[in-house]
Chains A and B, each alone.
Chain A
Amino acid sequence: MTAQPTEAGRAPVRSSRTLWPGRAGHGFVAAYTVLLIAFGVIPTGYAVYFAFTDGGGTFSGLSNFSTAVDDFRFTPAIEHVALYLLWWLVSLVVFVVGLALLLHRLALSGVSRALRFLYYVPGALAGAASVMVWLFVLDPSVSPVAFLLRAFGYHTFGEVIAPGHLPILFTLIAFWTGAGGWIVVMYGALNNISQDVLEAARIDGAGAWQTAWRIQIPLLRKWIVYMVILAFAGGTQLFVEPQLLSQASVGVAGRDYSLNQLAYDFAFQNNDVNTAAAVSVELLVVGLVVAGVFVARSGFFDAD
């Protein structure tokens, strides 16, 4: 077997790929491709099939979609998720970027490091564990911040989790578990900004605000977009938080709150997998479009 000669003018990464033998490459990716087909492609196709057929397996056009849309829970679920996304994304961008900038300016690097670690510890409680913690934190009878809850005029768990509060509460939970990781990432990205640029700005008389606003944040743009995209895609899939909250409030708050819960209930409460599949297909389309546009447009993943 001979190696390909290195072509001049190509990036070293590319030139190092052997153009032959292709068969070895296929051998290496075979197992992964099987999994990709089995757990990526087939379920997608299956969901599409179910979404466009009725219980008997005959083509039914868009009737499953209209069943879903006409369901009294559908529009509220979209509104819930949209409102939650708004809060979640805004708070994520503002606070993550803000805190990363502050940490970056902190003169004591040991303190900065310790703070980053503390911010990111709740990430270990992702999933059901974070909901458990926040059920307690939001219950005025046991909460460590009961005085705050009372100051806002909430004296019972039921008052705290009133339906109007849920977007903010879910934002709190998501922020608590997720923001720390992103702060660490933004901090890392800030470190990659050349000192020369910052120094030049300083010489030109830029203060902290101006440096942050005109230099650092624009240079972080790519990362902010990346974060927003992932958070948006993840946020549309809200499930465990409202599901457990509805358990904890005997169905008062959080039942059929999100689209995923709705799909779940169609499938498992109403035994209507076709409508469930229709809701899933809608969520899939959102996920695919967002991911696809990002991969194609951002330049983040220049595949070649």
Chain B
Amino acid sequence: MPTDIRRPAVATPSGSGPLPGRTDRLRSGRPVRGRRNPLPALVLLLFAVFFVLPVLWLLLAATKTDDQLVHDNPLSFGSLHALHANWTALTGYQDDAIFMWLRNSAVYSFLALVITLCVAVPAGYALAMTEFRGRRTLLVATLVVMLMPNATLVVPLFLEVNAVHLIGSMWSIVLPYAFYPFGVYLTYIYFSTALPGELLDAARLDGCSEFGVFRRVALPLAAPVVALVGFFSFVANWTNYYLPYVMLPQSDQFPVQVGLGTLLDSVPQFNPTASTLQVERPELALATLLAIVPVLVVFLFSQRFLVAGMLAGATKN
């Protein structure tokens, strides 16, 4: 069954293997068929609605009162006044708790990001560009841990952290966050494909120390992979729920993800036993929006990062 939606030959905005020159040949070589099959377009559109509708609804929900949320059209705009009222109510919850949670999230994610970069970039460099005893073991261990979901180790980590009495310390999540094998792997791939060894050899001949070679030659060329690792690390840490949920018992230490859970507990429609401090549903929607803003901003600039990172496994060779 021929479909008439022709592929665009050079549709490679995401940066993988463009094939210039082919387009015209393909296009002109085929006769234009009569009617297009509408089914593919319909399917694509349907999924677009599926993916976008909830986000759109969330944006609009923050501008409504709870009453409007129930009775108005789900995709109508409420009012700026209601938005302001939701904002006031939300920020009033436990004296600016939402800002505290956002700040916590920022501190944890940022600290972990800095440590991750300081640790992962040299490690990936050494795995790619130097030979040392245990290199292969370290590489395989990195791959295996990288493919394991991070929730696997949460309860074991709790047992360990509990044994050294660090439960409740922010380091109990920052340090596990900072252990980021995927970042090491990405750096490894980057250096082994993008950095010619001759460059390093030349620097060595000029009398550079091993650290000097890394510092003066490799690092200045590593900007793309630093951005890539930074992106993935930040998003993974910002959206993590399980680890802080287990490690940080105090409400004033929660990152915003866990804070959302607390807010959820105070929404009477979801928890009829919610007592004194009640949160209206639009306030919860607003809090959810605030919680995702940083990741959303990072996302807007990073579609290509995602592809590059996910395709990294195949770009070797």
Contacts and interface: CB of A to CB of B under 8 A. Distances in A.
B75 interface: yes
Given A36-B145, A39-B179, A176-B50, A129 B284 contact: no
Interface centre among A104, A222, A248 (most CB of B within 10 A): A248
Contacts of A120: 299, 303, 306
A207 to B, nearest CB: 4
Interface of B: 1-3, 5-19, 22, 26, 40, 43-44, 47-48, 50-58, 61, 69-70, 74-75, 118-120, 122-123, 125-136, 138-149, 151-160, 163, 175-176, 178-179, 181, 184-185, 192-193, 196-198, 200-201, 204-205, 210-211, 214, 235, 239-242, 245-246, 257-258, 260-261, 264-265, 267, 269-273, 281, 284-285, 288, 291-292, 295-296, 298-299, 303, 306-307, 310-311, 313-314, 316
Contact of A43 (B156, B242, B292): B156
A13 B193 contact: yes
**3 A-B pairs with least C-beta separation:** A16-B197, A25-B132, A24-B210
Given A28-B214, A107-B7, A125 B292 contact: yes
Contacts of A237: 149, 151-152
A270 interface: no
B149 A287 contact: yes
Q: How would you classify the secondary structure of chain A's contact residues: helix, strand, loop or mixed? A: helix
A201 interface: no
A208 B61 CA distance: 42
A263 to B, nearest CB: 5
Interface string A92-127: 000100110011111111001101111111111111
A248 B263 CA distance: 11
A141 interface: yes
A207 B299 CA distance: 36
Contacts of A42: 160
Given A26-B134, A28-B130, A109-B11, 17 more contacts: A3-B200, A13-B128, A16-B129, A46-B163, A105-B6, A106-B7, A119-B48, A142-B70, A187-B14, A188-B310, A195-B9, A207-B1, A209-B3, A234-B149, A248-B270, A267-B158, A291-B145
Contact of A191 (B16, B142, B197, B296): B16
Given A39-B157, A295-B143, A103 B44 contact: yes
Contact of A146 (B74, B193, B257): B74
Contact of A247 (B7, B176, B261): B261
A129 B55 CA distance: 11
A151 interface: no
Contacts of A226: 313
Interface centre among A120, A132, A300 (most CB of B within 10 A): A132
Given A106-B7, A113-B13, A129-B288, A22 B270 contact: no
Contacts of A199: 26
A62 interface: no
A47 B139 contact: no
Contacts of A35: 119, 175, 178-179
Contacts of B316: 302
Given A39-B179, A47-B159, A128-B291, A192 B314 contact: yes
A105 B158 CA distance: 49
Nearest to B8: A109
Contact of A294 (B147, B163, B242): B147
Q: How would you classify the secondary structure of chain B's contact residues: helix, strand, loop or mixed? A: helix
A64 interface: no
A247 B284 CA distance: 14
B307 A188 contact: yes
A134 B70 contact: no
B57 A136 contact: yes
Contacts of B260: 128-129, 132
A44 B148 CA distance: 12
Given A38-B175, A109-B8, A132-B260, A32 B151 contact: no
Interface stretch (A65-73, A76-84, A163-171, A273-281): A273-281
Contact of B179 (A36, A95, A137, A247): A36
A261 to B, nearest CB: 10
A229 to B, nearest CB: 7
B69 to A, nearest CB: 5
Interface string A161-201: 00000000000000010001110110111011011000100
A17 B131 contact: yes
A189 B314 contact: yes
Interface in A1-37: 1-3, 12-13, 15-29, 31-33, 35-36
A31 B119 contact: yes
Interface centre among B69, B145, B198 (most CB of A within 10 A): B145
A86 interface: no
A181 B51 CA distance: 12
